[in-house]
């Protein structure tokens, strides 16, 4: 049975919804229960009606971090916990949408989010390679980094279903999807307090299995319009003017006029489809080898001039307009040391745990966070020395050795290689991922 096969893939230890049920209740139930659930799902499809008890969600807030003010509601991301049967039904519905959605034209090839074999690093890789190619050919590169205001929460539902209909999703499946969002109510839970129920008239459910695909549908036409505009950067004969990771959009051009034209297209599209970009959080970076870069002080977006900055954090990777990445390396060293010292203070030291165990925890928890994006780093000798020095400090700290102890002895005792080897392995794995992509 389809439901039984699908249930074997359900993740464990996930939060339940308002009904108090979790995936495990369905995953480990007997065949008779599966038959009843299947019968219920078939009735829903037959009558195109979603039970009211399913259309109730609990919104929990997750702090975004990055030293954002904790008293600002914009510093939190809302995740909707929905009934488990709703999620399972969504998953089964998603499998029927895949043949329609996964075509050669959708999503746009510059969109990397929620796609097989692609990740946020692929977006950063596309951006950096586009910048480097144009710089090597003597062109300046102007990149506008656009910030969407609560992208998933501000989706215009009527507009979304209009787009789905035009993509060929019609009939029962379209009516069922529309019914899923009709009169959906949610409560916000924060610090033990629960708000009154509110009908969700905008946005898509962050936490639903269909949400990601639905957002890609909503934003896809913007990418198509910008790509077919004939403006913006190219690599050889390919237009690479809007590399995107879900709602993280970059606009790449070689001159101010093209940048203004593409930004106006983004402005018009957002007004037409009733969502907004944040002009105050959007920024421009001018990548150049020239001593005096071209001025672009008058580039406007939402009737405001966008600020020009020297560096920016894009999908977790720090980029600098002159490829001076010492600040990025210093941050990585600081994260390595702070992460390890935090573990030691919490009790993960040589008096309580075997150093080999501590070393494994560090490699699993601290290194991926501190060295995120190292696959794309072009490290200079002084930067590599800074990272090796940070690792030497870690190796000696977790084993309780004096700082003057020989480093090669300390690393050999826990089976570690140099940090250069760690980064090289990451780069090779990323290269393997790129080589295995569909052309």
Q: Show me where the domains of the chain are located.
A: 2-105+152-212, 120-150+230-320, 326-435
Lookup: tokens for 230: 């004939």
Per-residue confidence (pLDDT) for residue 294, from 0 to 100: 67
Residue 81 has pLDDT above 70, yes or no: yes
Topology of 120-150+230-320 in CATH? Alpha-Beta Plaits (3.30.70)
Q: What is the b/e burial string over 320-337, where b = at least 16 CB atoms within 10 angstroms of the residue's CB?
A: bbeeebeebbeebbebbb
CA distance 267 to 146: 11
Cα–Cα distance list, 133 to 3, 160, 227, 325, 430 (Å): 49, 36, 18, 19, 20
CA distance 181 to 56: 10
Torsion region of 400: left, alpha or beta (phi above 0 gives left; psi -120 to 50 gives alpha): left
At 425, the pLDDT band (50, 70, 90 cuts) reads very high
CA distance 323 to 303: 31
Per-residue pLDDT tens digits for 89-148: 988 888 888 877 776 578 888 998 888 888 899 999 999 999 999 999 988 899 999 988
Are 47 and 179 in contact, with CB atoms under 8 Å apart? no
Residue 56 has pLDDT above 80, yes or no: yes
Strand-strand pairing, 56-63 and 185-190: parallel
CA distance 299 to 147: 16
Residue 201 has pLDDT above 60, yes or no: yes
Among 345-354, 374-383, 413-422, the least confident range: 345-354
At 295, the pLDDT band (50, 70, 90 cuts) reads low
Per-residue confidence (pLDDT) for residue 160, from 0 to 100: 94
Per-residue confidence (pLDDT) for residue 152, from 0 to 100: 85
């Amino acid at each position: 049975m389809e439901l039984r096969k699908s249930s074997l893939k359900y993740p464990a230890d996930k939060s339940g919804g308002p009904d108090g049920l979790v995936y495990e209740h369905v995953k480990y139930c007997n065949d008779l229960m599966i038959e009843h659930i299947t019968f219920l799902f078939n009735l829903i499809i037959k009558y195109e009606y979603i039970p009211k008890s399913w259309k109730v969600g609990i919104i929990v807030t997750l702090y975004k971090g990055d030293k954002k003010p904790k008293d600002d509601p914009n510093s939190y991301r809302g995740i909707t916990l929905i009934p488990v049967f709703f999620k399972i039904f969504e998953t089964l519905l998603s499998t029927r949408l895949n043949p329609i959605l996964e075509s050669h034209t959708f999503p746009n090839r510059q969109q990397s989010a929620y796609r097989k074999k692609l990740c946020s690093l692929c977006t950063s890789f596309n951006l950096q390679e586009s910048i480097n190619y144009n710089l090597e050919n003597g062109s300046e590169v102007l990149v506008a980094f656009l910030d969407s205001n609560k992208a998933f929460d501000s989706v215009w539902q009527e507009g979304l279903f209009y787009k789905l209909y035009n993509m060929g999703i019609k009939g029962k499946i379209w009516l069922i999807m529309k019914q899923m969002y009709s009169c959906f109510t949610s409560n916000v839970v924060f610090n033990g307090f629960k708000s009154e129920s509110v009908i969700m008239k905008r946005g898509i459910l962050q936490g639903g299995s269909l949400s990601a695909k639905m957002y890609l549908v909503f934003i896809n036409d913007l990418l198509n319009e910008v790509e077919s505009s004939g403006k913006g950067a190219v690599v050889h004969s390919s237009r690479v003017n809007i590399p995107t990771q879900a709602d993280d959009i970059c606009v790449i051009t070689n001159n101010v006029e093209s940048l203004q034209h593409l930004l106006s297209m983004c402005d018009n599209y957002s007004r037409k489809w009733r969502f907004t970009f944040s002009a105050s959080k959007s920024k421009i970076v001018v990548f150049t080898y020239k001593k005096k870069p071209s001025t672009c002080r008058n580039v406007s977006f939402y009737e405001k001039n966008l600020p020009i900055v020297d560096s920016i954090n894009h999908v977790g990777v720090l980029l600098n307009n002159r490829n001076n990445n010492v600040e990025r390396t210093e941050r990585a060293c600081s994260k390595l040391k702070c992460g390890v010292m935090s573990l030691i203070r919490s009790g993960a030291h040589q008096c309580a745990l075997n150093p080999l165990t501590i070393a494994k925890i560090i490699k699993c928890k601290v290194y991926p966070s501190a060295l995120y994006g190292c696959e794309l780093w072009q490290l200079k000798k002084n930067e590599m020395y800074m990272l090796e020095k940070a690792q030497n400090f870690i190796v000696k700290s977790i084993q309780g050795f004096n700082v003057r102890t020989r480093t090669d002895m300390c690393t050999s005792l826990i089976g570690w290689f140099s940090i250069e080897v760690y980064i090289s392995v990451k780069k090779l794995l990323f290269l393997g991922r790129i080589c295995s992509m569909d052309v």
